[in-house]
Amino acid sequence: MQAVVNVVIPVFAIVLAGYLCGRFKLLGQGGSEALNGFVYYAALPALFFGSLAKVELDEILNWPYLGAFLLSMAVTGIAAFVVGRFIFGARGAALAVQNMAGLFSNTGYMGIPLAITAFGQSAALPAILATVVNGALIMGLYILWIEAERSEGSHLLHVARDALAGVFRSPLVLSAIAGILSSALQLEVPKPLLTFCDIIGAAAPPAALFAMGLFMVGKSFKGDLTEVGVLSALKLILHPLATFAIVLWLVDLAPLWRDVLLLMAALPTGSLVFVLAAQQQVYVRRATGIILGSTLASVVTLSWLLDYLNVG
């Protein structure tokens, strides 16, 4: 319980700091947009490239772990699609962001420190791997979905062309590809460049959380509570249950990797959902509500999981 609280409280404190700065107009107009631009175009690309370039390709390609991680998200994503489309009537780009909110874990800011606290330094690699897959692959797929929805082409090939063009304009996808190629080709990345990536990349999670706080000023979430509650439940209950079933019956993982995988699935919705929503100007208020609601509720659900895993 203490390990969870030690991670969750700083998350809310950063959001609160952003809210207070916005409430008292300390940063002027457009603070949230400026911070999101910094995260999307500078900090996250540096984080993705630096993280991938430093990891051996063999370490990235742990297929059983990756397969279980992606399959659990696919199961949750299908459920979130049915709920979002047929219960809440979401469509287009809003449905894409809503779907992402139901399965995208906060692996970076919460997952990595919590995994190390719970299981030791050896848990860092599987937690980092989950973060890389989230940022490089899952984020790219949702950008592809949004670009396809917004394509002005009527022919399938035109839609595909516009969607792929949108994906490969994304600095997140391009930086991830550059990092993977650097790792695969075993290129010697200059030490100053890696240091630059480490420094500016470390600013991405707190900046995104701070921007969320700025965005919340003057917003009301009352009309979104049912939707926020249902999507938070999909993230905190269905996602870890699906992962548990997969590692129990389908995929055999080493105990440490299995436990970290369960922890990654049980995490609340990550702040990158807000970053993408704000960048695309769609579903921003409700995405913020899901992130905050799931983070608050995760104090209970993560405590249950860590107790089940005999941690602490």
pLDDT at 241: 97
Task: Give the pLDDT mean for 210-237.
Answer: 87
Q: CA–CA separation, 9 vs 3, rounded Å? A: 10
pLDDT at 5: 76
Residue listed under structure tokens 């602490």: 312
Nearest CA-CA partner of 162 in 172, 174, 152, 171:
152
Phi, psi of 237 (to 5 degrees): -115, -55
- 46: CB partners within 8 A, 6+ apart: 175, 196, 197, 200, 201, 204
The string of pLDDT tens digits covering residues 147-197 is 888 776 555 666 666 666 666 777 877 888 898 889 888 888 899 999 999
DSSP 8-state symbol, 29: T
Task: Give the pLDDT mean for 100-122.
Answer: 85
Q: CA–CA separation, 209 vs 56, rounded Å? A: 30
Q: Which has more confidence, 151 or 259? A: 259
The model's pTM is: 0.84
Residue 43, token pair as written in the block: 């900090």
DSSP 8-state symbol, 136: I
pLDDT at 160: 67
pLDDT at 194: 92
- Counting every residue, how long is the chain? 312
How would you label 139-175 residue by residue, b for 16+ Cβ within 10 Å and e otherwise? bbebbbbbbbbbbeeeeeeebeebbeebbeebebbbb
Residue 23, token pair as written in the block: 């409430």
Residue 179, token pair as written in the block: 């990092």
Residue 111 pLDDT > 90, yes or no?
no
The string of pLDDT tens digits covering residues 19-47 is 899 888 888 777 878 888 888 889 888 88
Helix, strand, or coil (residue 105)? strand
Average pLDDT, the chain: 86
pLDDT at 143: 86
The string of pLDDT tens digits covering residues 269-289 is 988 898 889 888 899 999 999
Residue 297 pLDDT > 70, yes or no?
yes
Q: CA–CA separation, 18 vs 215, rounded Å? A: 8
Residue listed under structure tokens 């950063």: 14
Within the chain, residue ranges assigned H as helices are 2-23, 31-38, 44-53, 57-60, 63-86, 92-101, 112-119, 124-133, 139-150, 156-167, 171-184, 191-201, 204-216, 225-233, 239-249, 255-266, 272-280, 284-308
Q: Which of 54-68, 69-83, 117-131 has the highest mean pLDDT?
A: 69-83
Question: Which domains does the chain show, CATH number per domain?
Answer: 30-209+220-308 (1.20.1530)
pLDDT at 157: 67
pLDDT at 162: 64
